[in-house]
C-alpha cells in the first residue's frame, strides 16, 4: 500500500529529527565541531571527504524521471495552503546541517562550517561558510538564518510552531555567525532541529510574499533549481552547474543527475502502465497485487527493466486506518477497539496481498523502538506514575493485533467486537447500531482518493456492517482529499507515519495534544492524552540511547492500548522497477535508499537505446 501525500512531509520531519548532538565539551566555552551526534562519537572525522555510501567519482549527467500518483498546485512547500510537488524542499533548499544515512543520529556541516553547543545546552551557534550562496549568487548570511526561523515560525505551516516551540530566540552575532537560545534543556534534539531548518533568502522574500501559494519557482540554494513546471502534471528540476556546495564532503558523489523530472498521474493503474511504456524511468511499487502480477513482461525477462527488492532498515512507522477521535462517536476506547477487531488482516494478506506483508504491531514497526512483550523495568518506571490513567491490561499483557483464521469469517473477533460495543452503551435496532440517547445510526465514512483502496476497504466495511455500522465509502479527488486531511474532516483515513531512528519533536505533531486542534498537523487521530504528552517529553529528554528506547517503547505501548488506529501492514523493503540505465555505489546506506547517489551509466543507456528504448 502506497504511503499517501503526508509521507513526503512526514519523511522530511523524520529527517528533521535525525538527532541532537552533544559534542563533548571539556570547558564552559562551547567547542566548535564539524558535526553533531546525539549519542556517542561521530563516525566521520573533521577531515572526511565523502560519505562511505557515495562515490565521489560518479559521473554527472543524464535524466532521472519518476511518476507519482496525485497532484500538486503550488511551489511553496512551507505553508499550509496548497499541495507542493515531491522533494522541492530538499532539492532547492539547503540547511545548516546535513544528516548522515549510515548513522542513526548524526549530522554534519552544510551551510554551517562549524557548530558549537553550549555546555549547559541552553544555546547552539553556527559559523556559516563564506562560500555559501543562493542561486542568484548572493551570500547566505546569519540574517537569512534568523529571517528563516522567524518567518517559518510566524507564517509557515503550523508544524513549524511545534518543531520550534522550545527555541526562545535566534540572533545574528555577525554576518556569518548565528546563535539559537533555548527555553529549556529537556528537548535534547533542538540543535539538530534548528540545524535542519531550510534557509530562505531574506532579500528574495522582501520582494515576494511568503505566505501565498505560487507557481513561480522560488529562490533556493540547493543542488537543483526548478527548470519547468506544469501544475498538477509535471515538474522538472535542473542540477545547478555552479552549485556552491558540490565539493563539500556531505555532497561529494551525490546529486548526479542533470535533470530530475516528476510526472503526476491521477490513477495508479495508468501510472504503472506509463512506466512500462517508457514514459519515465524509475518506479517504487507500493501495491502488492501490482508487484506480484503487473511486471511479468518481456522487458524484465530480457533485462531492459530491472526488478529488485532492497532491504529497508529504517523504522516502517505505522500504516493504519486512523480514527478521528475529535468526533464524539469515537470517544469511547471500547468503540475504537471494536473497530480494530473487525479488520481481518490474515484474510486480506492472503487474498489481496499475495502474503507479501506482515501485520503492524507498533507505531515504530521494523525497529528496536517498538514495544514488545511486557514492559521492562525501565519502561515501568516511566509508566507507573500514570497507572490510574492507563488501561490495566497495558501492565499485564503485550499488545498483539487481533488475529483470525484467514477464512474471511472472523466470527470470534466480531463476537468480541459486538460485546465491546454493547458495553459502550450502543444498541442494535432494526439492524443498525444506534446511540440509545438519540436513536441515530452509527455512521462511518472512509475517505480516500485512490480507487485502488476500495478492494481493501470493502471487505473491512462488510465486517463493520455486520456489526450494525452504516458505512460510506467516499472517493474524492486529490485536491479535495488534501483539504479535508488538513482540516480533519473525516471519520476514517488511511495514512502512514514514517518514523526516524531517533524520534524527536515531530512526535508532538504526530501525537501531542497541542497538535490535535491545529490544522495541518500530523495528529490525524486527534490524540489528546496527557500521558502521551509526558512520554513524548521523556523521549525528547532522553540522556542516552537506552533511555531513548525505554521512553519510545513506553510511548508506543500507551498509543497502542489507546486504540487510536486500526493497524495495517508493513514489508521492510523497497520494491523497485527501473529501466536498466542506472548504476549506484557498491556500498548502500543502511538507513536510507540513497537514491541521490545513483547515476546514469552511459554504456547502459546506450545499450538500452540500441534496443529501441530511449528512456529519459
Q: What per-residue confidence (pLDDT) applies to 4?
A: 35
Average pLDDT over residues 251-260: 98
Average pLDDT over residues 539-548: 92
Average pLDDT over residues 425-450: 93
Q: What per-residue confidence (pLDDT) applies to 407?
A: 94
β pairing state of 259-265 and 63-69: parallel
Q: Alpha-carbon distance 237 to 225, whole Å?
A: 6
CA nearest neighbour of 182 among 99, 112, 118: 118
Are 93 and 198 spatial neighbours (Cβ–Cβ below 8 Å)? yes
pLDDT at 546 over 90: yes
Grid coordinates of 55: 562515490
pLDDT at 174 over 60: yes
Average pLDDT over residues 229-233: 96
Which tens digit of pLDDT belongs to each residue from 76-96? 999 999 999 999 999 999 999
The CATH code for residues 318-570 is 3.10.105.10
Is residue 233 classed as helix, strand or coil in its secondary structure?
A: coil
In this structure, how many other beta carbons lie within 10 angstroms of the beta carbon of residue 164? 21
Which tens digit of pLDDT belongs to each residue from 451-505? 888 999 999 999 999 999 999 999 999 889 989 999 999 999 999 888 888 898 8
pLDDT at 605 over 80: yes
Q: What per-residue confidence (pLDDT) applies to 360?
A: 95
Average pLDDT over residues 555-560: 98
Q: pLDDT band at residue 277, thresholds of 50, 70 and 90?
A: very high
DSSP letters for 17-46: TS-------SSSS---BSEEESSS--SS-T
Q: What per-residue confidence (pLDDT) applies to 186?
A: 80
Q: What per-residue confidence (pLDDT) applies to 331?
A: 96
Q: pLDDT band at residue 614, thresholds of 50, 70 and 90?
A: confident
Write down the domain spans for the chain: 1-305+577-616, 318-570
Better pLDDT: 433 or 504: 433
N-terminal to C-terminal alpha carbon distance within the chain: 27
Domain 1-305+577-616 classification at class level:
alpha beta
The secondary structure of the chain in percent helix, strand, coil, rounded to multiples of 5, reads: 30, 20, 50
β pairing state of 106-109 and 35-37: antiparallel
Q: Choose the weakest-confidence range: 11-20, 265-274, 521-530, 544-553.
A: 11-20
Q: Alpha-carbon distance 296 to 291, whole Å?
A: 9
Q: What per-residue confidence (pLDDT) applies to 508?
A: 93
pLDDT at 20 over 80: no
pLDDT at 17 over 90: no
Q: Choose the weakest-confidence range: 144-148, 375-379, 480-484.
A: 480-484
Q: What angle do CA 102, 594, 2 make, to 5 degrees?
A: 115
Average pLDDT over residues 205-231: 97
Q: What per-residue confidence (pLDDT) applies to 349?
A: 95
Are 95 and 223 spatial neighbours (Cβ–Cβ below 8 Å)? no
Burial class (CB in 10 A: 0-12, 13-18, 19+), 301: exposed
Q: What per-residue confidence (pLDDT) applies to 12?
A: 38
Which tens digit of pLDDT belongs to each residue from 218-227? 999 999 999 9
DSSP label of 139? B
Grid coordinates of 360: 503492524
Q: What per-residue confidence (pLDDT) applies to 504?
A: 87
Are 334 and 341 spatial neighbours (Cβ–Cβ below 8 Å)? no
Are 519 and 158 spatial neighbours (Cβ–Cβ below 8 Å)? yes
pLDDT at 538 over 60: yes
CA nearest neighbour of 500 among 88, 41, 11, 6: 11
CB neighbour list of residue 312: distance below 8 Å, 6 or more residues apart: 366, 571, 572, 573, 574, 593
Average pLDDT over residues 101-114: 94
Are 599 and 112 spatial neighbours (Cβ–Cβ below 8 Å)? no
pLDDT at 450 over 90: no
Strand partners, 68: 264
pLDDT at 580 over 50: yes
Q: What per-residue confidence (pLDDT) applies to 606?
A: 93
Q: What per-residue confidence (pLDDT) applies to 14?
A: 42
Q: pLDDT band at residue 5, thresholds of 50, 70 and 90?
A: very low
Q: Alpha-carbon distance 327 to 308, whole Å?
A: 43
Average pLDDT over residues 582-600: 95
Q: What per-residue confidence (pLDDT) applies to 30?
A: 74
In this structure, how many other beta carbons lie within 10 angstroms of the beta carbon of residue 430? 7
Which tens digit of pLDDT belongs to each residue from 322-340? 999 999 999 999 999 999 9
pLDDT at 306 over 70: yes
Reported residue count of the chain is: 616
Q: Alpha-carbon distance 290 to 500, whole Å?
A: 28
Question: How does the average pLDDT of the chain come out, rounded?
Answer: 92
Q: pLDDT band at residue 40, thresholds of 50, 70 and 90?
A: confident
Better pLDDT: 616 or 378: 378
Winning range, highest mean pLDDT, from 248-252, 351-355, 434-438: 248-252
Q: Choose the weakest-confidence range: 149-158, 183-192, 533-542.
A: 183-192
Amino acid at each position: 500500500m502506497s504511503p499517501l501525500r503526508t509521507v513526503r512531509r512526514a519523511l522530511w520531519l523524520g529527517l528533521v529529527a535525525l538527532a541532537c548532538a552533544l559534542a563533548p565539551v571539556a570547558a564552559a566555552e562551547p567547542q566548535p565541531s564539524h558535526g553533531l551526534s546525539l549519542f556517542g562519537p561521530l563516525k566521520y572525522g573533521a577531515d572526511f571527504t565523502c560519505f562511505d555510501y557515495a562515490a565521489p567519482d560518479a559521473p554527472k549527467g543524464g535524466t532521472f524521471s519518476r511518476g507519482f500518483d496525485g497532484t500538486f498546485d503550488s511551489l511553496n512547500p512551507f505553508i499550509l495552503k496548497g499541495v507542493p510537488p515531491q522533494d522541492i524542499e530538499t532539492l532547492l533548499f539547503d540547511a545548516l546541517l546535513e544528516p548522515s544515512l549510515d548513522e542513526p543520529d548524526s549530522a554534519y556541516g552544510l551551510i554551517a562550517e562549524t557548530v558549537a553547543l553550549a555546555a549547559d545546552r541552553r544555546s547552539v551557534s553556527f559559523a556559516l561558510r563564506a562560500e555559501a550562496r543562493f542561486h542568484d549568487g548572493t551570500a547566505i548570511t546569519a540574517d537569512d538564518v534568523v529571517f528563516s526561523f522567524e518567518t517559518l515560525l510566524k507564517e509557515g505551516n503550523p508544524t513549524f510552531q511545534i518543531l520550534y516551540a522550545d527555541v526562545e530566540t535566534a540572533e545574528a552575532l555577525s554576518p556569518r555567525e548565528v546563535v539559537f537560545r533555548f527555553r529549556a534543556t529537556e528537548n535534547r534534539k533542538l540543535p539538530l532541529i534548528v540545524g535542519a531548518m531550510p534557509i530562505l533568502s531574506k532579500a528574495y522574500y522582501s520582494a515576494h510574499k511568503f505566505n501565498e501559494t505560487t507557481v513561480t519557482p522560488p529562490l533556493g540554494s540547493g543542488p537543483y533549481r526548478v527548470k519547468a513546471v506544469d501544475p498538477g502534471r509535471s515538474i522538472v528540476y535542473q542540477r545547478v552547474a555552479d552549485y556552491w556546495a558540490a565539493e563539500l564532503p556531505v555532497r561529494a558523489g551525490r546529486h548526479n543527475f542533470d535533470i530530475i523530472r516528476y510526472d503526476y498521474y491521477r490513477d495508479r493503474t495508468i501510472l504503472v502502465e506509463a512506466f512500462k511504456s517508457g514514459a519515465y524511468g524509475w518506479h517504487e511499487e507500493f501495491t502488492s497485487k501490482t508487484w506480484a502480477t503487473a511486471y511479468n513482461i518481456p522487458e524484465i525477462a530480457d533485462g531492459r527493466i530491472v526488478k529488485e527488492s532492497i532491504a529497508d532498515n529504517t523504522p516502517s512507522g505505522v500504516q493504519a486506518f486512523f480514527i478521528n477521535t475529535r468526533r464524539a462517536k469515537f470517544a469511547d476506547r471500547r468503540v475504537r477497539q471494536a473497530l480494530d477487531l473487525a479488520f481481518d488482516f490474515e484474510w486480506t494478506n492472503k487474498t489481496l496481498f499475495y502474503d507479501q506483508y506482515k501485520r503492524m504491531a507498533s507505531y515504530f514497526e521494523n525497529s528496536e523502538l517498538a514495544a514488545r512483550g511486557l514492559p521492562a523495568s525501565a519502561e515501568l518506571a516511566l509508566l507507573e506514575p500514570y497507572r490510574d490513567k492507563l488501561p490495566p491490561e497495558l501492565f499485564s499483557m503485550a499488545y498483539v493485533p487481533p488475529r483470525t483464521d484467514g477464512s474471511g469469517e472472523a466470527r470470534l473477533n466480531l463476537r468480541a467486537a459486538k460485546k465491546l460495543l454493547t458495553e459502550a452503551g450502543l444498541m442494535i435496532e432494526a439492524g443498525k447500531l444506534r446511540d440509545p440517547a438519540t436513536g441515530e445510526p452509527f455512521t462511518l465514512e472512509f475517505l480516500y482518493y485512490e480507487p485502488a483502496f476500495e478492494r481493501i476497504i470493502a471487505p473491512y466495511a462488510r465486517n463493520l456492517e455486520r456489526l450494525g455500522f452504516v458505512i460510506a465509502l467516499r472517493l474524492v479527488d486529490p485536491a479535495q482529499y488534501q483539504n479535508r486531511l488538513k482540516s480533519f474532516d473525516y471519520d476514517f483515513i488511511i495514512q502512514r507515519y514514517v518514523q526516524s531512528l531517533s524520534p524527536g519533536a515531530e512526535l508532538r505533531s504526530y501525537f501531542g495534544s497541542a497538535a490535535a486542534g491545529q490544522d495541518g498537523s500530523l495528529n490525524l487521530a486527534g490524540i489528546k492524552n496527557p500521558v502521551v504528552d509526558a512520554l513524548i517529553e521523556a523521549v525528547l529528554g532522553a540522556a542516552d540511547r537506552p533511555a531513548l528506547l525505554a521512553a519510545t517503547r513506553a510511548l508506543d505501548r500507551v498509543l497502542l492500548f489507546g486504540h487510536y488506529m486500526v493497524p495495517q501492514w508493513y514489508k521492510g523493503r523497497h520494491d523497485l522497477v527501473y529501466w536498466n540505465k542506472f548504476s549506484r555505489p557498491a556500498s548502500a546506506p543502511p538507513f536510507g535508499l540513497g537514491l541521490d547517489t545513483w547515476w546514469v551509466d552511459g554504456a547502459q543507456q546506450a545499450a538500452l537505446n540500441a534496443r529501441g528504448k530511449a528512456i529519459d
